[in-house]
Amino acid sequence: MSTMRFTGELTIVSCWCGCIHAVPSDMRAYQLREHAAGRKFQIYCPHGHTYIPNGEPEIKRMERELAAERARHDQTQAALRNVRKDRDSAVLRERAQKGAKTKIKNRIHNGVCPCCKKQFKDLAEHMRGRHPAWRGSDEVVA
């Protein structure tokens, strides 16, 4: 029987088979670093079983969180595009309404009746006599 002298630190680990054994602390620290980086470094128990740390590697967790953050970013960008599209539509609608009102004002200024589309020299008298209920409502668009 031979003996071995070890002067470093040992860490106690437990295999899935229930075997408790000691491994050099540097080796165990290296295994945990590799596991956190998403790489496998196997330690064997005396019965020949491999020991791999449980849990999700840190890099996998970070990749999952990054993917979730990218998805949230994409959703925010889509919502922002919709808001901008709605704003642009509202601006165009407002411009169209302003143009239509200006067109009606110009026609009235030139003596054209907004209801019957005929030209009169005294449009005010025509409006009082023929269209007394009309008060410039939005129903009539020339």
**CA 38 to CA 62: how far, in whole Å?**
11
> What is the residue-level pLDDT of the chain in tens, covering all 142 positions?
788 888 889 999 888 888 999 999 999 999 988 888 888 888 899 999 988 787 777 778 888 899 999 999 999 999 999 999 999 999 999 999 999 999 988 888 888 888 888 888 888 888 888 888 877 655 444 4
Residues 70 and 104 in one domain: yes
**CA 66 to CA 79: how far, in whole Å?**
20
Residues 101 and 124 in one domain: yes
Residues 65 and 123 in one domain: yes
- Indicate whether 139 belongs to any domain: no
**CA 107 to CA 120: how far, in whole Å?**
11
**pLDDT at res. 99:** 94
Residues 17 and 46 in one domain: yes
- Indicate whether 138 belongs to any domain: no
Residues 74 and 104 in one domain: yes
The reported pTM is: 0.45
**CA 54 to CA 42: how far, in whole Å?**
12
Residues 92 and 30 in one domain: no
- Indicate whether 137 belongs to any domain: no
Residues 83 and 37 in one domain: no
Domain count, the chain: 2
- Indicate whether 141 belongs to any domain: no
Which residue range is the domain that position 30 belongs to? 10-51
Cβ–Cβ under 8 Å, residues 87 and 94: no
Residues 62 and 126 in one domain: yes
Residues 110 and 68 in one domain: yes
**pLDDT at res. 38:** 81
Cβ–Cβ under 8 Å, residues 123 and 111: yes
Rounded to 5 degrees, φ, ψ at 29 are -65, -40
Residues 39 and 77 in one domain: no
CB under 8 Å, gap of 24 or more: what pairs does 100-104 form?
Answer: 100/141, 100/142, 103/142, 104/140, 104/141, 104/142
Q: What pairing do the DSSP bridges indicate for beta strands 50-51 and 20-24?
A: unpaired
